[in-house]
Structure 1
Amino acid sequence: MYETIRLEKQGRVGHVVLNRPNSMNAMNGQMMKELAECFESLHNDNTLHVVKIYGAGRAFSAGGDIKEMMDPNNPMDIELVMKDVSRLSKALYTLPQVTIAVIHGASAGLGFSMALACDHVIAEENSKLAMNFIGIGLVPDGGGHFFMKERVGVPKAKEIIWAGQTLKAHDALAKGLLEEVTAEGRAMEHAENYANEVLSSPVLAKLASKNILHTLKLPELEQVLEMEASAQSAMRKSKDHLEGIQAFVQKRKPEFVGE
């Protein structure tokens, strides 16, 4: 059914697997669309109480697919892509299941926004976590501003977004961005333990609380997604973005001019 992701169901647990391992699960237009469709479909599934999200291969997700952004023969339709990104984020945030992001390797850009949208984030200690849009002259999308602010507050969110640094899992935990850090290779085991804990608890009461808290915040998330889409379209036309992308591809330090 899907080409870039897999959806598997085992009892009351759903598994959403990002499945472009050769590209470190970088999100191309198709993956964003498929994730949006997948999360929207899970809204109608009352047999699942937990959804785990993780990446195939050696990473959770390296973020947006820069090669596709740069492809002159088949340029990414930013307006369309931002619509799918907004659908994805909104559907994920409002899922009627307890969501667990299980991170190994890289979780960057949109991949990190998506992880932060989950109820419980587990990362292996050597994973690399980055809200790194600033490095290519862009703003976080996928609700990145909203999810970051929800977890750490506005001053810290600005600091992290503006720095665009790659964080190790223990740093991210100390900043309040994660719930758990595990040893290398142990994240899935911890996710299973947490899922079992949820399934043996009064899960309907937990989900009712999630629904109340998230429904209150939904108008704000929708506004953030609109503002991110508009800002991203503007930033994509900036000289700084072009310079950031070229520097990234050429593996050199960018020279930004504020235009």
Structure 2
Amino acid sequence: MQSNMIVFCHYYNEAYMLQWWLKHHYPLFDHGVMIDYGSTDNSNMLIRQLAPNWEIRRSRNPVFDIAACDQEVMEFEREFTGWKMVLNTTEFLCIQHKYAFLHQLNQQGQFIYRTTGVTMADPWGVYSDPSPDAPLVKQRFHGIYRYENIFRDRFIHQYPDGAYGPGRHQSFHPSESYIPGAYMLHFRFSPWNEEMIRRKLFIQTRIPQSDKDKGWGAQHFVDRPELERVYYETAAKAEDLRNRDDMRWIFL
């Protein structure tokens, strides 16, 4: 039975989200491999401060080429045994008790599971900027359950690698199923402030033309008016997740 969990995360100048992401995930995972795409902000300093036992590895890829990025991640996965997850800095795994969760993973007898994706979106005018001193999941609680269907689910598995399709939204391993009580909060439109708007508009500059030609990552290729239109459309559908019996514990 596997008794450890390892997280992999790639990033470029993600200090804003890392200040919450690292504090949230450091207690959940036994080890982390942080894949740096040449950050010039204080992302690496935060990792060394907030996750001192985790690794920082420099990516061989100069930009976020989806296929090359996924291939590199899977190569890193093959170096480790245990339960493995690959997350972005806007994706927060939420489980109630780590060791009960590990026991559940092992007892159900499968080698790969999905976690349930939830799209977080701030209703207009409800929130002020979040404090870096408190968990983000205690400051933001509006979202849409499975709004993006499987595209916001993330996998946890104990195969040598995840055998991912483009963007890691699918796996070619058989017999995947959902693991109850595990949620993947994707902070897509939350916190909705100038910092996150700049982040979203910048991402497209790090994606190669070859991916654009394939239509991969199309959600990133927007200008500010289009981004704001999609935000308003999404935020209008967000509910207070504290009213859901299955998720209330996350936000209390």
- Is the structural similarity TM-score above 0.5? no
Higher fraction of strand: 2
Q: What TM-score results when the alignment is normalised by the length of structure 2?
A: 0.29
The structure in which a higher percent of residues are helix is 1
Does 1 or 2 have the higher relative contact order (CA < 8 Å, sep 6+)? Answer: 2
TM-score by length of structure 1 reads 0.28
